[in-house]
Structure 1
Amino acid sequence: MDIEEYSWVKASDYRENILLALEEKPRTPKELAEMTEYYLSHVSNVLSDLNDHDLAECITPDRRKGRLWAATDKGRGIIEDLKR
């Protein structure tokens, strides 16, 4: 477990809940906003932060709308730690 990354995710309910929402399958920011009941702008900011930490990535970067985001291998490791 990367304790620094785990701690960084745990420090924010937004980061934790959005990362956990990416566990089952890739999702759009709109889907994530609906699932978590967060503002779309907050979801977008968190996804950008998760991307900067290599925990999530946009898997359809060429799309203008409906971009899909997924947890990276590192992100899936953090998800497993969060679920313990």
Structure 2
Amino acid sequence: MSSEWDEIGYVISSKYRVAVLRQLASEPSTPTTIAEESGLGITHISRALRRLREREMVELLVPEARQKGRLYALTELGEAVWKRIVTADLLP
């Protein structure tokens, strides 16, 4: 498994991944909500969610087969990475 700093670097290198973690740090959300709150495109948000999920920072809270209303939340790893990003003041 990669180090926490690898994960932090991965997140902060993309405004889309930052937007996803920022939104999910406050509450579980759908891709549409994240896109609306961040003002970013849904396609990019969906891709960021998929990649963050592959890295186990984000989890899907509804059944995999569900296509509408897919609700996502941070995992423990995602919470730890976001907290480190915020406390170390690594956001632009």
TM-score, with structure 1 as normaliser: 0.93
How far the C-alpha of 1:63 sits from its partner, in A, is 2.2
Alignment of 1:16-55 (within 5 A): 16-55=18-57
How far the C-alpha of 1:17 sits from its partner, in A, is 1.7
Distance in 2 between residues matched to 1:75 and 1:23, nearest whole Å: 9
How far the C-alpha of 1:18 sits from its partner, in A, is 1.1
Kindly name which structure, 1 or 2, has the bigger radius of gyration based on alpha carbons.
2
Query: What is the aligned partner in structure 2 of residue 64 from structure 1?
Result: 67
Letter of the structure 1 residue corresponding to residue 49 of structure 2: L
Distance in 2 between residues matched to 1:16 and 1:32, nearest whole Å: 11
Q: How many residues align?
A: 84
Extract unaligned runs of 5+ from structure 1.
none
Distance in 2 between residues matched to 1:5 and 1:58, nearest whole Å: 19
Query: Does structure 1 retain, via aligned residues, the 8 Å contact 2:19–2:34?
Result: no
* In the alignment, structure 1 residue 14 sits paired with structure 2 residue 3: no
Query: Does structure 1 retain, via aligned residues, the 8 Å contact 2:28–2:71?
Result: yes
Letter of the structure 2 residue corresponding to residue 9 of structure 1: V
Extract unaligned runs of 5+ from structure 2.
88-92
Letter of the structure 1 residue corresponding to residue 28 of structure 2: P
**Match among 2, 5, 24 for residue 3 of structure 1:** 5
1:2-61 Cα deviation digits (max 9, x unpaired): 111111111111111211110121100010010011111111000001001101011113
Q: CA RMSD in A?
A: 1.2
